[in-house]
Structure 1
Amino acid sequence: MPSSFIESFIFLLIEVLSLAILFRVLLSWVDPLGNMRITQVLRDLTEPVLAPIRSILPQTMMFDFSPIIAMLLLQAISLLIRSAL
């Protein structure tokens, strides 16, 4: 039973992070300066995941591909965990 709780927690965490990244991207179109409180909260939640990816990716002119990479990595981690169980 404890492993079931841990598995559920991990999958929930992956889903929450994926949704937070998606909402951050969408809100960046509405609030590009990040002045809204929800934008700041989403930035605080997602930056620990996005910053390491951003530091590895080459610089692009105006596109930040780190959210796409992060969401793909989170889904890959989820699939790996599911296949290992």
Structure 2
Amino acid sequence: MDGNFVISIISIAVEIYIWLIVGRVLLSFLRPRTYHPVFRFIYEITEPVLAPLRRILPPAMNIDFSPLVAIIILEIVKALLISLLRNFI
């Protein structure tokens, strides 16, 4: 398997996950019906990452910063993984 292919897969997967987090943030402003399948899917996919961050970072001025921190962490992890993979290629 080509190393660039693996790097592309990692990059695309992280970008999709980031967009799911952004979608969750946008949906939270709209207050959708929580039983809608799309909302449930986004919630169930993003909650395992956001819940631990929410326990560490309490809301400040009623704003949940866990999505922002999650996106920053995901970008750092993506950069580290890509850097490590490029060293092995």
| TM-score (ref. length: structure 1) | 0.81
Partner of 1:38: 38
Partner of 1:82: 82
Q: Is contact 1:31–1:39 with CA below 8 Å preserved after alignment?
A: no
Q: Is contact 1:24–1:43 with CA below 8 Å preserved after alignment?
A: yes
Partner of 1:26: 26
Consecutive unaligned residues of structure 1, counting only runs of 5 or more, are none
Please identify, of 22-31 and 54-63, the stretch whose mean Cα deviation from structure 2 is larger. Answer: 54-63
Partner of 2:72: 72
Q: Is contact 2:21–2:67 with CA below 8 Å preserved after alignment?
A: yes
Q: Distance in 1 between matches of 2:74 and 2:36?
A: 26
Give the alignment's Cα RMSD to 1 decimal. 2.0
| TM-score (ref. length: structure 2) | 0.78
| Bigger radius of gyration | 2
CA deviation string 1:43-70 (max 9, x = no partner): 0010011111112113435211100000
Consecutive unaligned residues of structure 2, counting only runs of 5 or more, are none
Q: What secondary structure, in the 3-state scheme, does the structure 1 residue paired with 2:16 have?
A: helix
Kindly, what percent of the aligned residue pairs are identical?
38
- Aligned length, in residue pairs: 85
Q: Distance in 1 between matches of 2:2 and 2:56?
A: 36
State the structure with bigger RCO (CA 8 A, min sep 6), 1 or 2.
2
